[in-house]
Chain A
Amino acid sequence: DIQMTQSPSSLSASVGDRVTIACRASQTVSSYLHWYQQKPGKAPKLLIYAASSLQGGVPSRFSGSGSGTDFTLTISSLQPEDFATYYCQQTYSIPRTFGGGTKVEIK
């Protein structure tokens, strides 16, 4: 199984801050890497697919980069509605695996 490791597991930030979340795969996943946002009591929402493509309707302050084993999700200017938990996921191989999540909290 491909292990997905996210860092940090949590962070505190202020509105307007630039936030970066890292995701590392235990072996290459090429560009088969996606990012999701989950708010409490809600289903995850797809933000970024194929490492760097913005899902329709997602604000442009979200961006993704990377390929192979190392990936990054960046929020350029954190907004109040962005406080949530973020997960990376690979669909390169079975089983599909998720990172452990990064909880973004208000400072």
Chain B
Amino acid sequence: QVQLQESGPGLVKPSQTLSLTCTVSGGSISSGDYHWTWIRQPPGKGLEWIGNIYHSGSTYYRSSLKSRVTISLDTSKNQFSLKLSSVTAADTAVYFCVRGSLQWPVLGAFDIWGQGTLVTVSS
């Protein structure tokens, strides 16, 4: 059974870089059947897609965050990571790491989610 677990600091100062890691267990992050995604949810609000990465290393990012975000894979550790630079209070949110299925006919749906981790941006 595949599981995803986020880890990283829960508090980040304004202007610094938010760094989170997602550890995948029970399956390989190198599988071509899936892509790996970060989604966030500000307190009391809806879900916002940040970006994703494929096993090839190809990445896609939300345009409004593109200048500040990097998603990367570490296949040796079966992990993928998120870095978001120059954070402000507006980046305070629960961050989820998520698996998207490329298998037919799932059409890219996000079938497995981490439990989420709250990151607060504050001095």
Contact = CB atoms under 8 A, between A and B. Distances in A.
Interface string B33-51: 0000100000000111100
- Size class of the A contact interface (CB-based, 8 Å): 20 to 34
Contact of A91 (B47, B48, B62, B100): B100
Nearest to A34: B109
- Interface centre among B37, B106, B116, by most A CB within 10 Å? B106
Given A43-B116, A91-B100, A95-B63, A100 B109 contact: no
B105 interface: yes
Contacts of A42: 115
A100 B46 contact: yes
Contact of B46 (A31, A46, A101): A101
A-side interface mostly: loop
Contacts of B14: none
Contacts of B109: 34, 46, 49-50, 55, 89, 91
A49 B111 contact: yes
A36 to B, nearest CB: 8
Interface of B: 37, 46-49, 52, 60, 62-63, 96, 100-101, 105-111, 113-116
